[in-house]
Structure 1
């Protein structure tokens, strides 16, 4: 499978849910926050990472209204959001791995969106959802910058 096909699969999953594409990043305006799904090419080989990010309304972030994923104040890799599925996610995103057929990879990536990416983003549709997730430990292995915690009225970690 080539990287363009992987990108196309992302668009097919995200566009019907209201995400708009810019490069290899998809954006969706939710109630009081911007949601970001980013497909990042690995520097170390033929694989990708899936990055999920959020910008609460009212935060000053470079690049708004469509900041780069790394500019977002709240960020998590899909493998950190689902550590028990890390091996599966990594295998699906090694797009030149010939041990998996294109059909298997396509079905796996579609399942990854259905079972992981979309439910994760759908659970975090409001600022209150995001605050509860941070307080509840969902972002334990993530990047939540101090200014974002302060903006949300959360104590430092």
Structure 2
């Protein structure tokens, strides 16, 4: 009997609450000037996963469902967590070889408290100048053309 991945299930449960749209294994939130992307990546070495977070800047190209690895701004959920204990807990939650009760709830809460607010605050380019947007940029890889665009935003 095949059971659904509990991590994917947890993110799927957020769809009605957050406005995320699922497409090809990723979840998208299209907003005024950006598209937020959540992608669950499986390690090639085992049953460990990573929650990749990315933002596509619509002024640099209008697409419907950009692949996470092609987005202008990219990071992982663990990089956004300020406290080391939260990061370690999330690493355990994302490791399916570790017996972890309440796995889905912990992941849902981490996404609701960390990713969704960042996506909402970065709905426009000026949102990246707000504290949450700046923090997201500090924790992320930003491609050159996106950096130039964001630097030009007053």
Quickly name the TM-score band, shorter chain normalised: 0.7 to 0.9
Q: C-alpha distance in 2, partners of 1:120/1:153? A: 19
Q: How far did residue 150 of structure 1 move? A: 1.0
Aligned length: 149
Across the aligned residues of Structure 1 and Structure 2, the Cα RMSD in angstroms comes to 2.4
TM-score (norm 1): 0.81
Question: Could you tell me which of 146, 150, 153 is aligned with 2:151?
Answer: 153
Q: How does 1:77-116 map to 2 (within 5 A)?
A: 77-84=76-83, 85-98=86-99, 100-101=100-101, 104-116=102-114
Q: How does 1:50-61 map to 2 (within 5 A)?
A: 50-60=51-61
**Runs ≥4 residues deviating over 3 A:** 131-138
Contiguous gaps of at least 5 residues in structure 2: none
Contiguous gaps of at least 5 residues in structure 1: none
Q: 2:34 — aligned with what? A: 33
TM-score (norm 2): 0.83
Q: C-alpha distance in 1, partners of 2:49/2:40? A: 6
- Greater per-residue helix proportion: 2
Q: What secondary structure does 1:136 align onto?
A: helix
Q: What secondary structure does 2:138 align onto?
A: coil
Q: What secondary structure does 1:40 align onto?
A: strand
Q: How does 1:125-140 map to 2 (within 5 A)?
A: 125-132=123-130, 136-140=134-138
Q: How far did residue 138 of structure 1 move? A: 3.2
Q: C-alpha distance in 2, partners of 1:34/1:9? A: 21
Q: 1:10 — aligned with what? A: 11
